[in-house]
Amino acid sequence: MSDCAICGRRSEKDDLCAYHISALENVKIAFDEWRKALEIDWNTYLTRLLDEENIGKWAREVVEYLMQQDGS
């Protein structure tokens, strides 16, 4: 049993808690729409999400986590 890498709640899968898993799912689902809309790749998408005013708190944390993972 490990903790969520983002918030410290109990993790359910891949070092993420239930909340951050569902945020990650949303980020992935929305990518399809963004790709269709703007023809951008995954990394550009993540960077652009950070500028989005209305992105949810957990979704933003997941994006930051993904970018950090990618960078390290």
Partner 1 sequence: MSKIMVISEKPTAARKLAFALDEHNAPQEIKKRGASYFECLRGGHAIYVVYALGHLFELKQVEKGWTYPRLDMEWVPKYEVDKKATNVKPIIRLIKRLAKEIDEFIIATDYDIEGSLIGYLTLRYACGIDSDDARRMIFSTLTKNELQKAYDEASTELDFPMIEAGQVRHEIDWLYGINLTRALTLAIKNASGWFKIVSTGRVQGPVLAMVVERDKKINVFVPIPYWNISAEGICNGSAIHLEYSRGRIDNRVKTVRIANGLQERKGTVGDIKRSIVSQPPPVPFNLGGLQAEAYRHFGFKPSRTLNLAQTLYLEGLISYPRTNSQKIPPTIDVKQILVQLSEQKSYKSIIKEIIGQKVLSPAQGKSTDPAHPAIHPTGERASRRLTPSEKRIYDLIVRRFLALFGKPAKKERARVEVKCNGHILVCRGQRLIEAGWMRYYGKYVTVQERVIPEMDIGDAVDIVRVDVEEKRTAPPRRYNPSSLLRLLEKKGLGTKATRAGIVDSVRSRGYTLNDRFEVSTLGYALFETLQKYVPTLLSPDFTRELQGEMDKILQGETDRETILAHAKESLLELLNSFKEQEDMIGRDLVNGLQRYWNESEEVGTCPTCKDGKMMIIRSPKTGKRFIGCSNYRQGTCDQTFPLPQKGRIVPLGKECPHCSHHMIKVGSGRRAFETCINWTECPGRKGALEKLEKQRAKGERKDE
Please report, as ranges, the residues that interact with Zn ion according to CB under 5 A: 4, 6-7, 9, 17, 20
Residue 28 vs 44, nearer CB to Zn ion: 28
- Three-state SS at 3: strand
Applying CB under 8 A, among 1, 54, 71, 72 the residue interacting with partner 1 is 54
Select from 11, 29, 28 the least CA-distant residue to 20.
11
Which positions from 11 through 50 interact with partner 1, judged by CB under 8 A? 19, 22-23, 26-27, 29-30, 33-34, 36-39, 47, 49-50
